[in-house]
């Protein structure tokens, strides 16, 4: 499931969260290319990481867009 999408000019970054067995997989994808994949034992830390990354992007001029 997509948690958020950030846009800047013609670029976009998506944060995707998926459950895989007993783990949660968080991926950041820029223009359809995987930037980063992280695995978590619980959902809450994965969502917190995604929220923090969105704040960092917003400070750098990216805007959230669904």
Domain ranges of the chain: 2-59
pLDDT in tens, 4-46: 999 999 999 999 999 999 999 999 999 999 999 999 999 999 9
Give the Cβ contact number of residue 42 at 10 Å: 11
- 64 vs 26: which has the higher pLDDT: 26
| Average pLDDT of the segment spanning 58-65 | 93
- Kindly report the pTM of this predicted structure: 0.90
Q: How far apart are CA 1 and CA 19, in angstroms?
A: 9
């Amino acid at each position: 499931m997509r948690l958020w999408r950030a846009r800047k000019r013609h670029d976009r970054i998506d944060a995707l969260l998926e459950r895989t067995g007993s783990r949660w997989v968080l991926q950041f994808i820029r223009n359809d290319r995987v930037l980063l994949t992280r695995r978590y034992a619980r959902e809450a830390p994965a969502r917190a990481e995604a929220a923090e990354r969105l704040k960092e992007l917003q400070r750098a001029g990216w805007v959230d867009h669904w």
